[in-house]
Amino acid sequence: MPTPWEDWNHILKIDPDKELPEGVTYGDLCATGTDAIEVGGTMGITAENMSAVIDACAEHDVSLYQEPSNPEVVLEDDALDGYLIPTVFNAGSPFWITEAHKEWVRLEGDLDWERTTTEAYIVMNPEADVAMLTEADCDLGADDVAAYATVAEHMFGQEIVYVEYSGTLGDESVVEAAAEATDESTLFYGGGIHDYDSAYSMARHADVVVVGDLAHDEGIEAVRETVEAANDA
């Protein structure tokens, strides 16, 4: 069955715990040409700040997904096209591989499975909040990442493999190795994309580039450059 992200090149990830640049609105970000808005973050996330961003983006014609960091912030909202749920394959704590997910199911019961998709995260920046929170083993070579990507696709049937360098631009050879290791899964890349060239370099290998901090740090035109690059690659 076709998935929406098969046709995507670019995702804009908005962190509800971070401010937007002066004069920038969520509507402006939705109009940058990105294929989808993903609302999520690692630290300081609450149901209230998630809801505020989702409500602001829901008024605009762009695919809208929630990426919850824990079960307590999952929102049942018809404005959402779905939920993208991280499972960190190289986490040091099993909580971030399956236990958080088990708790969500235990607490909520029958989830909206048709709109719920897991993302097989491979976290690569040891200084990132997500790496520290999940105790991720980031001391990985390209062959390790390729092996994780293969396991995610062929053993666990993951539709999305996500190479995450959160906060720094990754090693292009690592992303290339992950791309070569995946056949059917869609490869997401996130981390350190700050201009046309950095977006283009990663979009040459990844199916979808995820841009996050740039929206909060630089604003609309910088995001538009990365959309252009992702579409050009």
Give binding residues for Mg(2+) as ranges.
15, 42
Q: How many residues does the chain have?
A: 233
The token duo for 232 is 């050009």
| Binding-site residue ranges | 13, 15, 42, 162-167, 192, 212-213
Q: Determine what percent of the chain falls in helix, strand and coil, rounding each to the nearest 5.
A: 40, 20, 40
Mark out the alpha helices in 31-86 (DSSP H runs).
Answer: 47-58
Contact 149, 187 (CB under 8 A): yes
| Binding-site residue ranges for sn-glycerol 1-phosphate | 13, 162-167, 192, 212-213
Q: Which amino acid is at 38?
A: E
Residues in CB range of 22: below 8 A, 6 or more apart: none
CA distance linking residue 174 with residue 123, whole number of Å: 12
CA distance linking residue 87 with residue 113, whole number of Å: 16
The token duo for 73 is 């912030």
Nearest to 171 by CA among 125, 210, 233, 128: 125
DSSP state, residue 114: G
Contact 136, 148 (CB under 8 A): no
CA distance linking residue 177 with residue 22, whole number of Å: 39
